[in-house]
Structure 1
């Protein structure tokens, strides 16, 4: 967990129309309090893609900075009753083309989900390579047994902001785990036995190899968790 609040980012603005279509802004002025991680969630890209798109070597971005969020594209916001077939047909795509644009393999979609229907989700050749690498690592570690400990956002010397920019003190109900990024890339969704679905959003000097640290809102819950061996599953 970072000891100084450094990463500030801009949230991609999506304007939703009556037909559930949205146009992603290509450039946004950085506003205080936002993070690369929150941008990646809203813009449907990875943190690595945002860094590549903007030529960033770290998560350090500042208020008033112009941040390119995504190449211009059209996004369909899924509503109840939508199917991939209907969305693809309405946008002159095949179902396979729609899946490929969004990097999905399942036919299951949920209300509120954003699907790219025009333009490329991948920002550049480099970000595409990063995304493929990320998926390959996740696939290779789809299910594993790890040693799990727990931590809080109020440890001595901690800022409460994770390595990927999540403010845990402002979001105490968020499910976050600290991981070794060479085993589970930051931004990956995982399911943890006894904890539930979480985001791999933090790192730690002692979190190496097949070991994780699960975030708990209060110290007593972290102490009650202790150290245990659990099964985790990589969801994406």
Structure 2
């Protein structure tokens, strides 16, 4: 009787172990299949990403060509150095040397024209016109009008709205300057403003400061004071 009970227990134990192993194999097979399915799906996504990258690269290899910027030149002044010029335009000295084929940095001469890579300097003259720059300044900008608040003159005054150079002040063209820094009649390109002409002076306009003429008093006041603005004095007159 005892042997019979032990035999039955042994049979039950064998069955439990067998069924457990089968269940474990089934579960293992299930998880393995799921992992394979996930791996296959990830590979498909990766292939799609590679395909998109290849298409993007193909588009990059044939870019749409932009019109080349018109050349900009700087006319060397007495006392100029390549280091000073490079700082004025914010470009490396090595770039100036390479673009202009200069082997000896100390060979600069007054009146010599250096080509400035306008894209690197962030400089583009209006209309893409070719320009020769003879002076670069860092200026403070303000604005003025023809009225009493700026000139002390009323509309009835015979010289109301008339500039120091004798022309009638015009918004979008006239600026007041210190003629010892920017000669009368000079054409200047003001960064963020555009082309202007030095036609006027003012008692408060000294050094590199520039006063922009405006028709409207409110607009002139709202313009306020703008500091550290790059100004390029161009060769010739407007």
TM-score scaled by length of structure 1? 0.38
Larger Cα-atom Rg: 2
Of Structure 1 and Structure 2, the greater helix share is in 2
